[in-house]
Amino acid sequence: MADAFRRFRVIAKVRESEVVTSFHLTPVDGGPLWQALPGQYLTLRVPTAQGTVLKTYSLSGDVQRDEAHRISVKRACAPDGVEVPDGIGSCWLHDQVEEGAEIDIAPPRGGFVLDQESTRPVLLLAGGIGITPLLAMAKVLARAKRRVWIFHASENGDVQALGPELKALAERAEGRIALHVVHRAPNENDRVGGRFDSEGVIDKNLLQSQLPLDDYEVYMCGPTAFMVAMYRILTELGIHENRIAYEFFGAATPLYKLAVQPVSAPRAASRAPKAIAALVNLTDPEAWAVSETHEPTADGDRQEMAVSGDSVHFSKSGITATMGGDVRTLLEMAEDAGLEPDFSCRSGICNTCRCTLVEGEVSYVEEPLETPPAGQVLICCARPKGRVVLDL
């Protein structure tokens, strides 16, 4: 397949807070910007001593009107006393990439996007740097007639991403956009400057006090613990799961499964190279298609059965599944069959889900950014062509 990457130049590098910097990018070839949907992300090739790795960052600007693509990146440093490397992509961007530098970038991707056809009011919930895709949505919503409520939780105003830009956007919206900033530990500058509206965390009481009863569409993004807490609160408030769209920072997993368990970190993408296991801004667009349980057949699912049409046999597990319903990919077929294969991006970027294709052929519903080796398949974006056998 042709190389999907294109060369972009950094035309501006803007510090947004103590830890967040924005990069404005235009094509070196002088051609037009890619068309993007509010909420999508770009994939960057990051050079390392061992080669290149792929990192994804949400578009944070106005994707319909800006003359450059913008990403806003938080510098990810290892916690004190923890022997893990700093964030490869974010530190490279912050420390080494200056205005005039050129970067290889792949077109916008991601299914976490604003439904621009809907007329329902919108609730945007952001934790930390999770504001980036939601800000892109808010910029488009500012030109619509829908009511919008934005809640942004951060540690304090010194590290809050794009706070002044959010405030200005809300002020220009003539009351249609309500912004509520929550600082967990506000400092003196926050108190003197009035840089926050509430102290602590976003909880049920806060949302109930600020939101009128309505049929909201919710978009949320942030750390896993934040997402689980928000999901629990929203469902307790009666918002149906199919009105809640979300994007993870880190390994993706169906959120409703985490919400019924004690709060904990999601299962790691154990087979991912260290450089891409921590990909940020990863989307789980088909989470609602994942079954919570798998009912065995009377004869037992660990017997390979004769099937017709598109099907997959998981040779290590002894399970055979057929394509049907809303299921689109081999990964979804495995999940519906009760298996738990590793995955992260669900869109053909990170190779975490790569496994051996023992038999048969596949097609890709979304082309991988980098073609896997012969005999390997990325199950997150592939579907069977007839009968296939996977080493799972």
Q: Which CATH number fits domain 6-109: 2.40.170.20, 3.40.470.10, 2.40.50.140, 2.40.30.10?
A: 2.40.30.10
Say whether pLDDT at 292 is over 50.
no
> 117-121 long-range contacts, Cβ below 8 Å, gap at least 24?
118/146, 118/217, 119/145, 119/146, 120/146, 120/214, 120/215, 120/216, 120/217, 120/243, 121/146, 121/147, 121/148, 121/149, 121/214, 121/215, 121/216, 121/217
Q: What integer is the mean pLDDT of 154-161?
A: 96
Q: Give the whole-angstrom CA distance, residue 230 versus residue 247.
A: 12
Looking at per-residue pLDDT, the higher value among 40 and 82 belongs to 40
Secondary structure of residue 205 in the 3-state scheme: helix
- The residue to which tokens 């009666």 are assigned: 238
Tell me which residue of 354, 386, 358, 380 sits closest to 367, measured CA to CA: 380
- The residue to which tokens 């809300």 are assigned: 170
Tell me which residue of 109, 144, 154 sits closest to 279, measured CA to CA: 109
Superfamily of domain 291-390: Beta-grasp domain (3.10.20.30)
Q: What local confidence, expressed as pLDDT, does residue 3 receive?
A: 67
pLDDT band at 328 (very low <50, low <70, confident <90, very high): confident
Q: What local confidence, expressed as pLDDT, does residue 176 receive?
A: 94
What does the pLDDT look like over 336-384, one tens digit per residue?
Answer: 888 888 876 777 877 788 999 999 999 988 888 778 888 999 998 899 9
Q: What integer is the mean pLDDT of 383-387?
A: 91
Q: What integer is the mean pLDDT of 44-62?
A: 92
- Residue 335 CA from chain centroid, whole number: 19
Q: What local confidence, expressed as pLDDT, does residue 285 receive?
A: 31
The mean-pLDDT minimum among 32-36, 208-212, 249-253, 261-265 falls in 261-265
**Torsions phi, psi of 323, nearest 5?**
-75, 135
Q: Which CATH number fits domain 122-249: 3.40.50.10490, 1.10.1740.10, 3.40.50.720, 3.40.50.80?
A: 3.40.50.80
Whether 291-390 and 122-249 are alike in CATH topology: the answer is no
Q: Give the whole-angstrom CA distance, residue 360 versus residue 100.
A: 47
Q: Give the whole-angstrom CA distance, residue 334 versus residue 320.
A: 9
Write b or e for each residue in 235-258: b if 16 or more Cβ atoms lie within 10 A of its Cβ, otherwise e: eeeebeeeebbbbbbbbbbbbbeb
Secondary structure of residue 329 in the 3-state scheme: coil
Give 133-167 as a DSSP string. HHHHHHHHHTTSS--EEEEEEES-TTT-TTHHHHH
Q: What integer is the mean pLDDT of 296-325?
A: 65
Residues forming a β-bridge with 15 = 21
Q: What local confidence, expressed as pLDDT, does residue 371 receive?
A: 81
Spell out the domain ranges in the chain. Answer: 6-109, 122-249, 291-390
